[in-house]
Structures are given as C-alpha cells and as structure tokens.
C-alpha cells in the first residue's frame, strides 16, 4: 500500500519516492512458468506456480517458509486471515493449498476489493490498525489459527495489528509478517535502527521470549499475553511468531559417566557490569 501524503514521514518528498521506486526496480518481477511448476520443491510452490486465478505476487523464498509453517494446517479445519488483499489471488492460493475445510478471510482498506465475490472467500473492508474493525472480524469468525500481514508495511500499523490479534490467536497458531525490508525504507517510515518499525519490535519479542530469565531488579514487566510467544523466526523480509500455552522449561540429565569433579570450575569468571 502506498502511503498518502499525510502518512509519510516529514522528510518524505519526490526525491524519497524516486529512491523508493529505484529500489523496487532493482527487484525484477518474474512470471511463473511451466518450468518453475515442474521444479516446485514443495506443495506451496506447486500451488503458487500453478495458480491461474486472480493475480498475486510473493517473493519466491517466502514459499518455502509458508510451506514449513502452514503444512500442518492442510486438510483440516483452519481459519486464516490475510491483511492486504490487492487483487485477491493470494486468498485463492491459501484456500487451494490448505484445502476445502479452510476458512480464508482477507482484510483491506481499499473498498474496491469488496468486488471479490468468490463463494469460498470472505473479504472485509477496514483499517488494519483499527481495533473496532479487528474485533468485528474476530466476532464474526471466532478467531484465527493463521494471520498473515501483507498490508501497509508501516511499522505502527503492523504493531497495532499484532498486539490486537496475537493475544486472540488460537493456541498453536502462527502470525506471519511479510515484506520487512520496508522497515529500512524512509518512504514507509523506516530506517536502519529506527524506533517504531516491526524489525525493531521483533527484537523486543526476543526479550519477552526470555523474560523468565530476567534477574531480580531489572524493572521490566512483560505483558501476560507475550508469555505465549513460543518462537520468533526471522528470514529475509519475513517473520513468523508462533503461539503456544507457556510451560516452565526443564532439563533432562542422562548418562552416568562423569568426567569433571563437581568442585572444578568450568567457566571463566565474569566481572560484574
């Protein structure tokens, strides 16, 4: 989604948009061919390269990621929400990949996508950062096992959607955020190390994942719902956050033969910071 003039960062101008277009031009579009379909390495690639319905586009290396995390939901009841509908092709791909029991929903701010009237898809119109819109969809669907954010690629919107939807995601579900390279582009309100991007937000999720190990006196509280973050996996431009009911970790000790006496120091002393 292109930012409106009011939504762009203050320093944005024609030179910034020109730089953004130049970046995109260096990433050529490739249309799927029969040869690509024949060489598909997994079912996700096969369904995507063989798609002939509504138009869609994904970075090729995303498909392996999607197959890895979504394969367990195939041919079973599953509810999926994709933020960012565009022409609607990806909704069709998700439906065919996941199978007839899947309920596939899309959310887009552009009212034109309401024209998508496929009987096995449901499109909602609204802003991904609007809690009222998200609550309406949740009430209608009962929630989701899979959420894919391919919406505006603006950090504030991505964070707002995640913080509202992840706590309500089904246990065992996955939350996927695409196109994180936009977090480095000023045209999308980003920049290297810039606060408020989803890339920087993910770094905080790593702390939340390890919050049980915080030492006393750290003075950092973690929201209870963040304790359900089971894993954070980051690939080139795409992140996957898995949700599970938290459980205290424990350590198994196996084997009987010992080599080091209990009193022998095995680590170097560390000077307190």
> Which listed residue (51, 105, 124, 153) is catalytic?
153
Determine contact, residues 156/196, Cβ cutoff 8 Å.
yes
pLDDT digits (tens, 9 = 90+) for 189-224: 878 988 899 999 999 999 999 988 888 877 678 899
Answer yes or no: 164 catalytic.
Answer: no
**Lookup: tokens for 138:** 């949740």
pLDDT digits (tens, 9 = 90+) for 172-189: 999 999 999 888 888 788
The ranges of the chain with pLDDT < 70 are 1-33, 219, 262-267, 269-270, 272-273
Determine contact, residues 5/16, Cβ cutoff 8 Å.
no
Distance CA 162, CA 154 (A): 12
pTM for this one?
0.84
């Amino acid at each position: 989604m292109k930012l409106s003039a009011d939504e762009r960062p203050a320093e944005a101008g024609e030179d910034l948009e020109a730089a953004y277009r130049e970046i995109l031009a260096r990433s050529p579009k490739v249309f799927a061919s029969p040869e690509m379909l024949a060489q598909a390495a997994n079912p996700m690639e096969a369904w995507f390269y063989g798609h002939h319905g509504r138009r869609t586009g994904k970075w090729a290396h995303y498909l392996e990621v999607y197959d890895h995390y979504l394969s367990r939901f195939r041919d079973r009841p599953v509810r999926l929400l994709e933020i960012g509908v565009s022409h609607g092709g990806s909704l069709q791909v998700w439906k065919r990949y996941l199978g007839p029991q899947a309920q596939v929903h899309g959310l887009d701010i552009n009212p034109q996508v309401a024209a998508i009237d496929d009987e096995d898809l449901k499109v909602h119109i609204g802003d991904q950062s609007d809690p009222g819109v998200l609550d309406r969809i949740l009430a209608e669907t009962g929630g989701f096992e899979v959420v894919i954010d391919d919406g505006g690629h603006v950090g504030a919107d991505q964070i707002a959607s995640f913080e509202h939807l992840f706590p309500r995601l089904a246990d065992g579900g996955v939350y996927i955020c695409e196109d994180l390279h936009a977090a480095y582009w000023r045209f999308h309100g980003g920049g290297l190390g810039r606060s408020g991007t989803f890339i920087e937000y993910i770094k905080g999720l790593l702390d939340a994942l390890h919050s049980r190990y915080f030492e006393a006196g750290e003075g950092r509280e973690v929201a209870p719902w963040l304790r359900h973050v089971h894993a954070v996996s980051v690939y080139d431009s795409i992140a996957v956050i898995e949700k599970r009911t938290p459980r205290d970790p424990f350590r198994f000790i196996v084997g009987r033969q010992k080599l080091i006496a209990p009193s022998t120091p095995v680590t170097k002393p560390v000077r307190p910071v």
